[in-house]
Structure 1
């Protein structure tokens, strides 16, 4: 990997490891609807002019049906559900549970005929990952957290199936352009829910505002731009490795900055989930590299 590739990789490992921390801080003072609206509004305001200036708006809009489905599966649905779940769950536990996306993605791709067969190594990885998530749920979760856990389950399904929509319907669409339009559409969808609540934002603390700003600027606009730059630099499969680092960053920041407990469930579940991710996402050496948006199971947290 080139020096530029390493810089992009390290940057993305951190940038997409901190959203869970920022969401936790912000959602204590603003509603999930308002959080998603402001995050997408900021991201769209930064990325959409770039898309228009490069003349990519009309070509992307030709695929508007698939783009709407991608928006629901990757942004409009998951970002609201994560914010809702973090009203109850810790940021570290949420980040670690979302790391289960590669397992669901591998299974969904197999069922829909988009993936090569599951080798014994990949099956072992999925089994290890499921055990890791089971350890987390068994040791760190009580009955009162059922709805937030169901919300994260829906997040996994959305993040896992979103790339399949891209593979089938958006293989040649520039990633940043598609993301900018998805951000704009999501902001529009949440506008009627968020606007009535904006009057109360005068009571929101500075840390929450800074978290919202960082979420929109750093984790969304800059994060998406750097992610697709990373794909162009090192290829989709190497870029996927950030999926294995993000949960560790989420856990570290949650414990260090928010004082969340480093529980026995996290201590045992984290290495199991990470090892499972590595094994479950191993590809056949003969497989060709897909386009920048087409086959990356890394979710936008």
Structure 2
């Protein structure tokens, strides 16, 4: 990649590795709905003025409003509240690592959805190894905090797999920036009522306010702009590799800033999930970049090869 491509890659690896840390800080003083509203409202305020200048793009958004609503609900409205609730009991490190199972889930769901790609022995091995990594992380978590917080994060991993499938099959004609603006705006509207009902009685601390601002400005608005630039600079196939780096950033941030423990289960789980993800998403050859169109979704979603075959790619966890 070019120097600019490497800089964008490094930025995205960090930006989508720190949301778990910021959510963990924010849940100390505010409710989940307030966190989601702050993140989506700030993102909408930044992205909407730019998106409104793209009239053809807005026309495509109106034409595809039904799948966009479905995508927004599965990609943002549901997962972001589940993550906020789960992190009241789970560490940010464990949350980031459990979300890293998304590539493994994607391979399984792609087969159930009629995906055309053959699951090779290496991919089957990757599924087994990745599942083992999730088990290593989930079992101690369940023993400490119960089943539901761990289940919430794993549900998010499933949502982060299903939403890109919808985008790849139904939203290929929609430009990414207007679509992103529409999705975060819809999510903000959904959470206005719940946020008002759970609004904090006292002003949150400066640390929490900073975390909310970071989630909206950095991890939502800025992240999507930079990610689209990374796709244009390096192509879709290379851009999804940030998924392998995000969990390490989440673990490091939790340990350094919040003092979260680095246990052998975290190390073993991360190694197994990383190895399983690499094997489960491996292909016999890297697709020709000329055949990879920029993704229409909030994150890598899919591409069509020379024969029109759909390849579902992973979305970076955040």
- Which TM-score band (shorter chain)? over 0.9
Measure, in 1, the Cα distance between the counterparts of 2:264 and 2:116.
35
Equivalent pair of 1:139/1:264 in contact (CA under 8 Å): no
Match of 1:83 in 2: 84
* Contact 1:101–1:297 under 8 Å retained in 2: yes
- Give ranges in structure 2 of 5+ residues lacking alignment: 303-312
**Taking structure 1 as reference, are residues 60 and 268 closer, same or farther at Cα in structure 2, changes over 3 Å only?**
same
Which residue number corresponds to residue 310 of structure 2?
none
From 292, 296, 299, the counterpart of 2:295: 292
RMSD value, Cα: 1.5
> Displacement, 1:197?
3.1
2:113 aligned partner: 112
Is 1:133–1:269's contact at 8 Å kept on the other side of the alignment? yes
CA deviation string 1:210-266 (max 9, x = no partner)? 000000000000001111111121111111100000000000000110011111210
Distance 1:170 1:254 in 2: 36
Q: Give the drift of 1:17.
A: 0.3
Q: Is the 8 A contact 2:161 2:314 kept in 1?
A: yes
Distance 2:315 2:2 in 1: 21
- 2:26 matched residue in structure 1: 26
d(CA) in 1 for partners of 2:171 and 2:115?
Answer: 14
Against the structure 1 CA distance between its residues 146 and 139, is the aligned structure 2 distance closer, same or farther, given a 3 Å change threshold? Answer: closer
Aligned 1:96-135 pairs, distance under 5 A: 96-135=97-136
Once the two structures are overlaid, the 10-residue window that deviates more, 251-260 or 268-277, is 268-277
Of the structure 1 ranges 284-293 and 30-39, higher mean CA displacement relative to structure 2 is found in 284-293
CA distance in 1, matches of 2:19, 2:106: 21
In 1, Cα distance between equivalents of 2:249 and 2:234: 22
Q: What TM-score does the superposition give when structure 1 sets the normalisation length?
A: 0.95
Deviations 1:56-101 (A, max 9, x none): 2222221000000100111001111000100000000000000000
Secondary structure of the 1:20 match is helix
SS in 1 for 2:20: helix
Partner of 2:305: none
Question: Cα distance, 1:104 vs. partner?
Answer: 0.7
- 3-state DSSP of counterpart to 2:29: coil
Q: Structure 2 vs 1, CA of residues 10 and 115 (structure 1 numbering), >3 Å: closer, same or farther?
A: farther
Return the offset for 1:268. Answer: 1.0
* Whole-angstrom distance in 2 between the partners of 1:197 and 1:143: 27
**1:7 is the counterpart of 2:21:** no
- Give the total of aligned pairs: 300
The yes-or-no answer on 1:46 pairing with 2:46 is yes
Q: Structure 1 CA distance, aligned partners of 2:125 and 2:200?
A: 52
Give the whole-Å Cα distance in 2 for the aligned partners of 1:69 and 1:276: 29
Do the aligned partners of 1:74 and 1:300 also contact (CA within 8 Å) in 2? no
SS class of match (2:115): coil
Q: Which structure 1 residue ranges, 5 or more long, are not aligned?
A: none
Q: Distance in 2 between matches of 1:21 and 1:115?
A: 37
State the Cα distance separating 1:275 from its structure 2 match: 1.4
Assess if the C-alpha contact under 8 Å between 2:16 and 2:316 holds in 1: no
Alpha carbons of structure 1 residues 289 and 115: separation in structure 2 relative to 1, 3 Å: farther
The CA deviation string for residues 129-149 of structure 1, in whole angstroms up to 9 with x for no partner, is 111111112344416321111
Partners of 1:54 and 1:300 lie apart in 2 by 28
> Normalized against structure 2, the TM-score is what?
0.90
Q: Aligned equivalents of 1:199 and 1:247: distance in 2? A: 31
Whole-angstrom distance in 1 between the partners of 2:3 and 2:261: 36
